[in-house]
Structure 1
């Protein structure tokens, strides 16, 4: 049978199949290959007398280390418009991380009730200009959550974003029960020396959500200076028109990307963020965020 690992604990893996959830152990051959099954893996299993075994782990589309989960298709990047104020650089870091991992980004602006004319907020205009999908929420009053629920179908979704923006509240409201603690309790749990936290996929609204926050560490090491521009999708319609085929959109003449920035078609904050990281890559530094 084919299925998806939705939970793993103590060497047992719980695989959701068309026939229900099967408790499985992994074959020893995976250990010999240095391969460990992960939550989110698409697997082939065998089952006999109630005992299951993972026979094959299909190729992963992507994988995260924190939380340990594979085959994520979508990220809800949650930022509050106020309390705390938005850090544009951090928001761009999350977007690049998703691009690098081949994860579709949906930016969720929470606490919209705290800001007047929130659609004119600098961060909102930046995200819309870059072509990303964004949603506006007041999680405590459950405003905007229906839009989130509609995007869950047929996806494996992870929530990410800085602390204090409402990730736990949003996830709990979507699932309909407490899957993540909120506020000070959450901070204590995350800092506990002996706390073991296992990621789990929760099935809801025709898809799965990861029950822990994503991207607790942003660590991007780019292969080359040419690679970085691939993670800025708004560059794509301009970069092939540049005068030089290997244009980095930095100091080269005849650059259509720079022209688009000057004309306001590419957001200046996004471009400056790109240049800052390009210079870091050129200098040979590692992008550990």
Structure 2
């Protein structure tokens, strides 16, 4: 947080503390997890991962490289969630064997590596990157976050061919904004050697992210070098005039793909 402006540091500390306090109030009320359970929808959307795996240490963001599944916005949603949960993120790009141009996969990996994130390029089919993945998973309790079809199950089958028969499954019942019941299945697997995996089925990646539209910008580290130069202190880096972040994108100082991802996220939060 040292690179944030004083105002942004205060805002981010307040947001994170508020979320932790709200979660604590719910847990002190009736936080037992036994079979099927329910809780206020807004709390579940912001802390479902924590409830499913309260002691997890690493969030593995699983994203398929092959189109049309490729979504940098989902990678960035996962990175925001990791910051909120205060856990280590690992970006796992899958289905490398289906990529036509390897240079494109390397370009995406380079964008995030230059920001300081760990990125693995993997293929459950060929085995590429799997030994590195296992090393990153060992001695940690990890949550695998990704859309259906991202390749989470294929990765686990490569790590342990019989994982599906060994998974312990629990069911969550959530209430959507429209009052409809929404089922989510939490699957937990212990691969041994301190390697624990939890993943959730039934919700999109976006469903786990509950931040306000104006908060999203605080989680993009590369924006911080430019935000003080925006004409408006409340600039969302969207349609505002005099936005220093957009100017940085035009100069190539902020990756266009990351900015496009940010724009997609705040549009979805509008």
TM-score by length of 2: 0.62
Q: Does 1:222 align with 2:211?
A: yes
- Number of the residue aligned with 1:70: 54
Q: Does 1:147 align with 2:132?
A: yes
**Number of residue pairs the alignment of both structures matches:** 215
Q: Does 1:137 align with 2:122?
A: yes
- Where do 1:238-257 residues align within 5 Å? 238-240=226-228, 242=230, 244-252=232-240, 254-257=242-245
How far off is 1:197 after superposition? 5.3
Residues 58 and 141 of structure 2 are in contact (CA less than 8 Å); yes or no, is this contact kept in structure 1? yes
Report the structure, 1 or 2, having the larger strand content: 1
Q: SS of the counterpart of 1:146?
A: helix
Structure 2's unaligned 5+ residue stretches are 1-25, 36-45, 166-182
Question: 127, 139, 143: which is aligned to 1:158?
Answer: 143
How far off is 1:169 after superposition? 2.0
Residues 160 and 214 of structure 1 are in contact (CA less than 8 Å); yes or no, is this contact kept in structure 2? no
Change (3 A) 1:255 1:278: same
Of 135-144 and 266-275, the range deviating more from structure 2: 266-275
Q: 2:268 and 2:104 mapped to 1: Cα distance?
A: 31
CA RMSD of aligned residues (A): 3.8
Change (3 A) 1:242 1:209: same
Q: SS of the counterpart of 2:226?
A: helix
Structure with the greater alpha carbon radius of gyration: 1
Residues 150 and 205 of structure 1 are in contact (CA less than 8 Å); yes or no, is this contact kept in structure 2? no
- Where do 1:131-210 residues align within 5 Å? 131-174=116-159, 176-180=160-164, 199-202=187-190, 204-210=192-198
Change (3 A) 1:65 1:215: farther
Structure 1's unaligned 5+ residue stretches are 1-29, 40-61, 182-194
Residues 67 and 213 of structure 1 are in contact (CA less than 8 Å); yes or no, is this contact kept in structure 2? no
Change (3 A) 1:264 1:32: closer
- Number of the residue aligned with 1:35: 31
How far off is 1:144 after superposition? 0.9
Which structure has more RCO (C-alpha within 8 Å, separation ≥ 6)?
2
Q: SS of the counterpart of 2:257?
A: helix
Residues 184 and 200 of structure 2 are in contact (CA less than 8 Å); yes or no, is this contact kept in structure 1? no
- Number of the residue aligned with 2:260: 272
